[in-house]
Structure formats: C-alpha cells, structure tokens
Structure 1
Amino acid sequence: MSMSNKNKADQETFDFIVVGSGSGGGVVASRLSENGKYQVLCIEAGTKGASYIFTRPPLALQYLVDNPAVDWRYESEPDPSYGNRSLAVPRGKMLGGSSSINAIVYNRGQKLDYDTWSRLGCTGWSYSEVLPYFKKIENTKLGSDEFRGRNGPISVTQTRKLCPFYDLFFAAAKSADIPYNEDYSGAMQEGAAMAQLTARNGARQSTATSYLRPARNRKNLTIMKGTEATSLILEGKRCVGVRIMQKGQRREIRARREVIVCAGTANTPKLLELSGIGNPDILRKHGIEPVHELRGVGENLRDHYAALMKWKFNRPGISLAKKGRGWRLGLEVLKWVFLRKGMISQGHGSVRVFARSSDQVKEPDVMMVVSPYIIELLAGKGRRMSKTEGFFMYSHVQRTESTGSVHIRSAAPFDPPVVKYRFLDTDYDRKTAIAAVRRARDIAASSPMREAIATELAPGAAIKSDEDILSYIRETGQSTQHMVGSCKMGKDPMAVVDERLKVHGIEGLRIADASVMPTIISGNTSVPCMMIGEKCADMILADLK
C-alpha cells in the first residue's frame, strides 16, 4: 500500500494526525477520512504494506514474529516473577501494526470486562454501549443478529475440523463439564469452541487490508510508511503536531484539530515520555524536562501469561502432525495458494476453551488455546511442527491482576522501551494459574481423550503439587502478547485518559489503542482495539458537531 498523494505531505499541516496504523490507528484514520471533510495523516514506522508475502497466510505467523522487517522485537527485562528470564515482546511494525502479525483470533472478551470498566468510572464503556461498535467492525454469518454484525469491514469466519482430534477433544471437554459453544462472541463466552478468525477466504483480515486499503485513494487521507514519531509538539498544554523521522530526515507536521496516538501499549507511553508527559522523576532521570505531570504514564502494564502443555497420542492419524513436514507440507502450501483452504488457512490455536476455575466462580476466568499438533523449537533456526503425534495447549488466567510497567530507556527516540512485566504477583493470579493447568488436565484425563493419550510430555506426570505447577509456570511461561493498560482510562490519580480518550490536562491529544484499557479483557486484544478505534473516531466526529 503506497502513499496515495505524495504531494499532500508537502503541506505539512493536517486536521488530524494519527500515530500508528494498527488495530486502533488504522480504524481511526479510515473513519476520520470517510466523510471527506478533514485532511487526515496516518503515520506508520514500518515500511511493509498489506501485500507483504507472509502477512496473508494465517499459519505464516512464525515468519512474522521475530522478523525485524515487521516486528519491533522488543524484550522484557528479566524478573523473578517469571524465572529471571527475558521474554519476547513482539509488536507489529508494518501497515496494520500488530493486526498484521498476530494470530488473527476474533475474541471480544466478556460482558463483565466492559461493565467493570464502566464501574471504574469509564462512562460510556459498558458492554451494552460498546456492543454496537463490535457489530460495526464485523461481517460474519456466525451467531445471531442481536450480538453479531453483518456489514462491517472485517470478515469473521470459523476454523474447520481438519482431523479427528476436534471431535475427540470436544467430547472430552463435555465429560469435564465444559459444553460446546457455537458462538463465544454471543450471549455467553463459556464453553469449548472452534476459534473465530479475522479471515476471509482463508486469508488474514487486518486494519491494513480492511480499513486502510479501501480508504487509500481518498484525496483527504495520506498514509506515510517508514515514518517514526519522535515526539509530540506541545504549545503550553496543547498538542499541535508531531515530530517525525522519515528517510533520515527530521520534520515537523502540524495538526489543526487533534493528534490521536495509536502506537500501542509499548510505544504510546514511550512517545508521551519523550514529549515530557509522564512521571517527572522518570523524565528528569533521562534528562527530559517535564511539561505535564501524569504519573500513570507507563504504569498498570498487564498481559496474559501461560506455560505450554503437551500430550503425545498412542496412535497415528488423530492430529495434524503428518501435514506439517516434507511433501505433505508442500501440498498444504499449494492448497492454500490455489484454494485458500487447508491447514495454512487455519491459523494457530484452532480451538478455544473458556472455563471456570471452580464452581464458586460465575464467569469463565480461565482460557485455553488448543492445537492438534506439537511445536518444537530448533536451535537458532526458529520452530517447526513436530512429527510426534500429539497436541499442545496453554491455559491461563483471563483477568490478571499483577501489573508491571513500560518506560523510556533514554531520551534517544530510537531506543527500545524498558518493558518490566510482573506476573503471578497476587494470590488470585497464582491460585487461578494453578487451577488453569488443572482444568486443562481435567480435559486430557476425560474420556474419550484419555484413551488416546500415551503420555503428558509437558509439564509431565511428575509435576503434581501446587508448588511444582506454579514453579513450572514461572520458569517456562511466556506472554501471550496481549499487553494492555500502560495509559489507562479513568478518573483516578493514575489515569492517563478520560472516558473520551482525551489525555488528562492536554488539549488536542487522544489515545486509542490497548494502552487505555484499565483492566485486561478476557481474550485476545486486537478486535477490542478496533472497537476502541471505532468509538474514538465516533467521539471525535461527535465533538466536532
């Protein structure tokens, strides 16, 4: 996707500047430019567009994550809460942001998540108030009209059963008191289900393909790739533009009306701090003169954290193991290229399970991601599908309480941020994480699955006690790349934006990405960020009237 009218950038002034083209920014830029009244600039640090070879096939995720062409490749600081290791923090660096490199799972979370935001003082963000925006995003044949959208830009489809594993698994889940759910984005989330995907005809749907590509020829929209925001331009307590670096040249671009920062949970607080907005102690430490004190910038970082579990089958033909290597993999590639079908059209984690950790819990507090194959890590050569017949699952806490932070490393704009996760810090997180592993084992131990399993490969039968399970999670777990909350919405002293996504105390500046989530949602974050983008654009246009 190229910049539509190159000469438009020469004017250097726009009505709106949108920083970032991801799940939030791509939506905001598209919607603000829709009526033709306003000059809109969308800047994206990455250089790749929607036609990048690896972004369309859902199973090509392994060629996107840790690929410097499209991933910021951040890493967290080592921390005792996860075994003093450094964790990979992939973030999309291409048109569409992380919506172009994620696992394309469609998951809104639960009604409870948004009603919680409303109770925390985020007026207008209850489930009933955000549901119309979720429906506005999607175009799907799934579910009922009450809950699902039929005419939106993002196509939503469902994974297909490509091997005997699925019926075996769902039967075992039912035996473990987890029923099958036809639509986990409908009336209730609880149950085991085939994953819903942001995919059309077996290919990825991102904000690059579904919002920006249809909008790119509008005369009032300019899309600039390879353009990194280095700081915001502030005049007193008003944001009037953005400083950028493009092809080695530093420039300033002005906004007549507003700047909307959609750089994501890692890069949004970084941009604010580089601009002098944040905790004065942190800013001064790096030689930045504070312009506006907001101590919540970079705090409240949350994510989902899970350890991999693996089982081996006692006979061949149940899983997809044979399809992932050699000539059979070549056949799957051809199937996708010519028919957009088969294993490559499915994405990772083709089954989702939403379960309650105990009978005392009213809503699912555990999520499991399941795939009918085993991934093996190769020394220095990435990963591939194992020839071992089996399946993997990771099972984790849905609404984590533990919080970390993300702050600037220095005053140099191109230094990566310092990501400090904290996991399993609270009694609730520890207890529910242990229960999540036990619930996954309940399914594996239920008929008819137990008759098909030869052994549990990881964590293994020796890991039984609560202490051993917790240690296994701490020492082997990974972020599931759902980082949120670093510029949270609210009215308390640590809130960064208000309920209209305006940065507290700064005029002309809003944030519309996962960083504004006050608490983490019960699921994947890409589609909720699109919802935030839709609602943000709606509020901006309403304010103009």
Structure 2
Amino acid sequence: MIVGAGSAGCVLANRLSEDADVSVLLLEAGGADWNPWIHVPVGYFKTMHNPATDWCYLTEPDPGLNGRQLQWPRGKVLGGSSSLNGLLYIRGQKEDYDGWAAAGNQGWDYASVLPYFMKSECQERGADDFHGVDGPLKVSDLRLRREIAERFINAARAAGIPENPDVNGAHQEGVGYFQQTSWKGFRCSTAKAFLRPALSRPNLTLIKRAHCQRLLLRGKRVVGVEYRQGGELHQVHARREVLLSSGAIGSPQILQCSGIGERQHLNSVGVECQHELPGVGQNLQDHLQIRLVFKTRCRTLNDEVRHPLKRLAVGTQYLLTRTGPLTLAASQVYVFTRSQPQLERPDIQFHMQPLSADKPAEGVHPFSAFTSSVCQLRPSSRGSIRIVSPDASVYPLIQPGYLSTEEDCRVAIDAIKLARRIAAQQPLAEVITEEYVPGAAWQSDEQLLEAARQYSQTIYHPTSTCRMGKDARAVVDDQLRVHGLDGLRVVDASIMPTIVSGNTNAPTIMIAEKAADLIKQARGDEWNGQAALA
C-alpha cells in the first residue's frame, strides 16, 4: 500500500507492480493530471498557487525573514510536485551521499546510488558512465536559448567559474545550461513516466482523492490506512507493508496524526501517542533563494511575453513547433560555485532566469530584465513540521527557521557579493542599466543581510523531516523502515539526513528506485526463508 502518488509514489507503484505476484494499492489525495498546463513546461506559472493542483501551504511568520510568511507549493495531483515543479534535473554532489553513508546509512554512498539515478533516466545526450538511456524519465536539453543567458555564462567564466556542460557528470562545479525533465516540448512528470505505463497492470489499483487521515496500528505493527474520500471515511488493510510517500510535509503530518512522534507535542494537540519518535517533523531543511533583478538594454523574455499579441505569437509557436518560451524550465543557466575560494566544494547555486517578476502569477516586469537567484546548498538552519489537530485536513505549522544561524547569514552575504561580481563582468555588464532588486544602495554587510531577509523566497525544496539514521532522533533506518514499528516505511524526500546540494526531484526519484529494490530484496529473503523451513 502506497500513500501518495507523487514523485516517489509513482516510481514505487511502477517498480513494485512489475512483479505479477504482488498486489499494489496506490492512494492519492489529489486528482488526475488532466489540467493541460501541467504538461506545458512553463505551466507551473498556472498550476502553482492553484488550489485545484497545489496544496497551497503557507509557512508561519519566520523571524529570519523579518516575520514574512512564504507560500510553499506542493503538488496535489498525480505526479505530486513533479507535476508542478520547475523541471530542473540536478542530482547533487557525490559528497552528499558519501556523507549519508558515513553517518551510518549503509548503501547510500554515491557509488551505491548512482546506478539508481541511471536506472530511471532516459538521457537525450546518450549513455555514458554517469547516464542511462533505458529508464522512463526523459531528461533533455533546453529548447530555448537567449542572448542574455549567453552573456551571463560568459560573465561567470570571466569571474573565474569554469564552464561545465554536464552538472550531473564527473563533477558539479561550474556554469552551464540546465537539463530538464521534458520530452519534445512536454513535461515528463513521474505520473507520465512511471505511473501511466503501469496502470494497465491488473495488480495495480489507483484510488484518487483519497486523503489519508491516519495509519492503523495493531500494537507496534502498521496494518493499514484510514482515508477520507467524498466526505466518507474508509479503512483498508495492507497484506504486507504501508509505504508512506506523502512528502516532507505530508509524511510527518500523517505520522503525527497517527500518534507517531514526540509524546508531549502529540498529547498537547489531542493525539494519543502510540509510538514515541521525537524526530518526526524535526530537522526540516530547505533551499532559500535570494533573488537579484538587473534591468538591461538587451531584450529579455519580459519583452517577448508581456503584450497580448506577443503572448499569442508565443502560444502559436509552441503549438506548431513545441519550441519557444513555453518550453522554459524554471531557469536556463546554473552556476555551482564556492562562496569563499578556500572551501572544498561548491556551497552555493545560481538559477539564472532570462526574465523578471515580483510574483510569477502577476506577470513579468514592464521592462527588460533578468533574474540572478542564488541559494545556499547546505544550510545549517533547521525548522519543523508540527500538527495542530488530530484532523489531517487541518494544515500543520510549517516553521522553516531560515537564516537562523551565523553560518547561513554569512553565506547569504557572500552570495549576494558574488552575484554582483558576476554582473560586473563583460559581456554582461555592458547591457546592465541598473540593479533593480535589491538596489545599489544596499552595500554594507548588515544591509546585504537585510536584503537577504527581505528579498528571498523558497526554492521549493523541503526535505529531511523523517530523517534516516541510527540515533535517537532518526525516524527511519537505512532500509527506510520506521524505527520501532513493523510494516511501515517512509519513501520520499523527508528521509534525507541532510538536504542534497541542488534541486531535489531527481534525488527523490532515486530514493524511490532504491526503496523498490530494498522491498523486493526483503520479499525475496522472506520467500527464501520460508522455502528453507519447508
């Protein structure tokens, strides 16, 4: 039984139902991915903050952001956030996974997880030592090139950052064009890549709009799920295991609503503690992006899409050729580099967009401009997810804890300085007319930190709220089994011990690929044990 048909759940449904002797039930709280904007790459402008496709979470006022609240989009549709995200395909750094293994999580080192990245991938560029071509997930080059992006790449090189044509290859550091999860101008979500081909299998059942309320426990074993559909409660029992794949917000919420978490907190909101695990909902990590906007005398996408007739031309181009601005991922150009030269590996990432806006839903600015967004890859700040009610339909409190450590504040200041240093290089500097956000008046370190608090946004990468590990505050072991309980695993981005150094969708798919093999192996071991006894 899989709870959540998102980035991880769709992968699990496909891989586990490959075995005709196994029956798989997949529960999804959202609906079908019929909205046409889901399948148009730039459609995230229409699906994010849309309650039909997005849970529309809102954080608590965050002291690190001067009390601001941020919108946190999460997919409420088949494919989950892979149906809403910016399509960027980034795996992270080798050291991320080696660090997981060094902390005691056997089998999660880079050499062990690389085959799972490759297994899922159908790489447009072809196969090599780091890429596969036989997987269902299409990974392709951008179908859009613009002058301002080329200028940005050359300016980054002038600032001493090497060009790197494959950020998911031998090393991550450098500047280049993103690859994205799309194919021939259409988004490739996990619903499209993994779930849809498996739905014809008789051993896979999908139930949509089934909102999990709690897990059913019998002593220390999880035996099923209670879900709400159409105003009615239903209970369904699992023959073997329940796999919780509801994401970094949903998975800890369901655990807490089921009485699994910190006893004092659960009792305070009217939930009887069934199994004490104090780490549930703790250790929340996210990438916070600081957005700098530069006005230019060079044409950008602002000029191509802000007038109705030009938008009509863009739409016609897409319909006829599957090219143009509607194929745009969340960003065109990446930079992975070091905020200070003495660091051993990149600790910041740039997302360069050939456009600018205050909020995407409000449309682009009425002038030519581009956005240079920079985030810290491995923040030391931590937040939490905590329920306020036993009712799973009541949203939990999301407390991100952004910029709450001295280290994160320092990196934010250094990141803004580096963004400005790139902007000061040719051939980019010659077309910049003004730093629009935050503005040239912000100069001292104190002012730059204030700018980070005022002009930053989430980059939609919440992780680590059901952390994998062996210590008392870990939630799952290295087989993704919940500590102290039988019949329950968590399989999604919430199990990351520490957030990966980059965008999180590809690593989440890898986690599900590996989990499927762990589950198959456990089943095989069980069958072999029974045969030996016989």
What interval of TM-score do these two structures reach, taking the shorter chain for normalisation?
over 0.9
Matches within 5 A, 1:510-529: 510-529=489-508
State the alpha-carbon separation in 2 of the partners of residues 103 and 372 from structure 1: 14
Let me know the Cα RMSD of the aligned residues. Answer: 1.2
User: What is the letter of the counterpart of residue 457 of structure 1?
Assistant: Y
Structure 2 residue 172 is the aligned partner of structure 1 residue 193: no
Structure 1 position 143, deviation (Å): 6.9
Give the structure 2 partner of residue 27 of structure 1: 11
Structure 2 residue 315 is the aligned partner of structure 1 residue 333: yes
1:399 to 378, 394, 397: 378
User: What is the letter of the counterpart of residue 152 of structure 1?
Assistant: G
Structure 2 residue 431 is the aligned partner of structure 1 residue 468: no
State the alpha-carbon separation in 2 of the partners of residues 204 and 471 from structure 1: 37
Matches within 5 A, 1:279-358: 279-313=262-296, 315-317=297-299, 319-325=300-306, 326-358=308-340
Structure 1 position 144, deviation (Å): 5.7
Structure 1 position 476, deviation (Å): 2.4
Matches within 5 A, 1:11-50: 17-49=1-33
Give the structure 1 partner of residue 74 of structure 2: 91
Give the structure 1 partner of residue 352 of structure 2: 370
Structure 1 position 293, deviation (Å): 0.5
Q: Secondary structure at the match of 1:55?
A: helix
| Contact 1:202–1:346 (Cα < 8 Å) also in 2 | no
Give the structure 1 partner of residue 528 of structure 2: none
Q: Structure 2 regions of 5+ residues with no counterpart? A: 525-534
User: What is the letter of the counterpart of residue 89 of structure 2?
Assistant: Y
State the alpha-carbon separation in 2 of the partners of residues 439 and 160 from structure 1: 28
Q: Secondary structure at the match of 1:38?
A: coil
User: What is the letter of the counterpart of residue 102 of structure 1?
Assistant: N
State the alpha-carbon separation in 2 of the partners of residues 143 and 31 from structure 1: 23
State the alpha-carbon separation in 1 of the partners of residues 154 and 454 from structure 2: 32
Q: Secondary structure at the match of 1:441?
A: helix
Deviations 1:304-349 (A, max 9, x none): 1122110011x243x2222112212111112222321111112221
Regions of 4+ moved over 4 Å: none
Structure 2 residue 159 is the aligned partner of structure 1 residue 159: no
Matches within 5 A, 1:155-234: 155-234=138-217
Deviations 1:215-273 (A, max 9, x none): 01100001111111100010000011000111111111010100000000001011001
Deviations 1:384-419 (A, max 9, x none): 122311101111100111101001121122101110
Structure 2 residue 425 is the aligned partner of structure 1 residue 449: no
Q: Secondary structure at the match of 2:367?
A: coil
State the alpha-carbon separation in 2 of the partners of residues 48 and 470 from structure 1: 43
State the alpha-carbon separation in 1 of the partners of residues 359 and 9 from structure 2: 34
Structure 1 position 287, deviation (Å): 1.3
State the alpha-carbon separation in 1 of the partners of residues 132 and 486 from structure 2: 34
State the alpha-carbon separation in 2 of the partners of residues 511 and 282 from structure 1: 21
User: What is the letter of the counterpart of residue 532 of structure 1?
Assistant: I
Deviations 1:185-229 (A, max 9, x none): 000111111111000001111111000000011000011111111
User: What is the letter of the counterpart of residue 322 of structure 1?
Assistant: D
State the alpha-carbon separation in 2 of the partners of residues 102 and 215 from structure 1: 23
| Contact 1:162–1:343 (Cα < 8 Å) also in 2 | no
Give the structure 1 partner of residue 531 of structure 2: none
User: What is the letter of the counterpart of residue 444 of structure 1?
Assistant: A
Deviations 1:161-181 (A, max 9, x none): 532112211111110001211
Give the structure 2 partner of residue 7 of structure 1: none
Matches within 5 A, 1:368-447: 368-377=350-359, 382-447=361-426
Q: Secondary structure at the match of 1:54?
A: helix
Structure 1 position 427, deviation (Å): 2.1
TM-score under structure 1 normalisation? 0.94
Give the structure 2 partner of residue 147 of structure 1: 130
Structure 1 position 97, deviation (Å): 0.6
Q: Structure 1 regions of 5+ residues with no counterpart? A: 1-16
State the alpha-carbon separation in 1 of the partners of residues 144 and 161 from structure 2: 19
State the alpha-carbon separation in 1 of the partners of residues 487 and 7 from structure 2: 21
User: What is the letter of the counterpart of residue 371 of structure 2?
Assistant: F
1:501 to 480, 489, 507: 480
| Contact 1:142–1:183 (Cα < 8 Å) also in 2 | no
Structure 1 position 495, deviation (Å): 0.1
Compared CA separation, residues 235 and 105, structure 1 to 2 (3 A)? same
Q: Secondary structure at the match of 1:135?
A: helix
